[in-house]
Amino acid sequence: MKNLKKRLQQGETLNGCWLNLGSPLTAEIVGLSGFDWVLIDLEHGAGTEKDVLAQLQALESTPTVAFVRVESSDSARISRVLDMGAAGVMCPKVNNAIEAKKVINGLHYPPFGNRGVAKMVRATGFGQHFQTYYDASKESLLGIIQIETVEALNHLDEIAALEGVDVLFIGPADLSMELGIFGQFDNLIFIDALQKIILAAQKAGKSTGILFFNPDDYQKYHDMGIRFIACGADATFVADGARAMAKKLAAARATYT
């Protein structure tokens, strides 16, 4: 199992991006591009659970670690992608410690959680090394809790203090929408919320993460103490590349008319 958890706990900054096309080919291309991690998105992405397996298989031969954003904290959704070989899960819209605990319970086997045991799954080499996987899972699987509601802001310390919560991940779009300042990421209200999230994570010895789409924002968020950083997605990489090429070709064509 590829393991980024220890590196994150040691304070290293880890760079990642989203995968939302549901394509194993783009997953493999991105996995070979130099990111530390990728997030397969089942909440808003084009793919379904059926597409996760092929993406995980494509990423297996790359250095990049794959996490999956599940649709909800339902234990069946969590255990399904873990059995396929995901290195951890991100759960959206977690409002309080009770909901966060449900995510963590689904992430880990007893006695640390209530994840169902199945030996004949991809994560365990189809039964060949279940014990090895079991022994390593608690220290390897990453629990990423998304903070994107006002209610969550009122329960940050309780959420961050839970064993098994490794990353408080800021959802900028949803959080700014909840705060009534959608997309205003330089608004003092938004910045104040970020600082509260980062402080709660630091007090508990946990990490903070965020997704943004302008790489020029990297230093700002890094200086604030965020170490689990995502910028862009496979869909935006394709779209940006296609638009840039079309623009260049249109400009070249214009020289002949």
Q: How many CB atoms lie within 10 A of CB 38?
A: 25
- Residue 44 annotated among the catalytic residues of the structure: yes
Residue 41, φ and ψ in degrees, nearest 5: -100, 110
Q: Is 15 exposed, middle or buried (0-12, 13-18, 19+ CB in 10 A)?
A: middle
Tell me the residue range of the domain where 131 lies.
5-254
Number of domain units in the chain: 1
Residues sharing a CB contact under 8 Å with residue 128, sequence separation 6 or more, in sequence order: none
Long-range contacts of 177-184 (CB under 8 A, 24+ apart): 178/148, 178/149, 178/150, 179/150
The SS3 assignment for 142 reads strand
Our measurement of the distance from residue 192's CA atom to the centroid of its chain's CA atoms, rounded to an integer in Å, reads 23
How many Cα atoms are found within 13 Å in the side-chain-facing hemisphere of 73? 19
| pTM of the entire predicted model | 0.96
Using alpha carbons, select from 50, 45, 58 the residue that is nearest to residue 18.
Answer: 45
Q: Is 214 exposed, middle or buried (0-12, 13-18, 19+ CB in 10 A)?
A: exposed
Catalytic choice (44, 108, 129, 222): 44
Q: Please, are residues 153 and 197 in contact by the beta-carbon 8 Å criterion?
A: yes
**pLDDT < 50 stretches in the chain:** none
**Distance separating alpha carbons of residues 246 and 226, to the nearest angstrom:** 36
Quick one: pLDDT at residue 1?
67
70-94 pLDDT, tens digit per residue, is 999 999 999 999 999 999 999 999 9
Quick one: pLDDT at residue 257?
78
256, two tokens = 């002949």
**Distance separating alpha carbons of residues 140 and 14, to the nearest angstrom:** 15
Q: Is 183 exposed, middle or buried (0-12, 13-18, 19+ CB in 10 A)?
A: exposed
Residues sharing a CB contact under 8 Å with residue 226, sequence separation 6 or more, in sequence order: 170, 198, 208, 209, 210
CATH classification of the domain holding 153: 3.20.20.60
191-224 pLDDT, tens digit per residue, is 999 999 999 999 999 999 999 999 999 999 999 9
Q: Please, are residues 18 and 55 in contact by the beta-carbon 8 Å criterion?
A: no
Helix (H) or strand (E) holding 135: helix 130-140
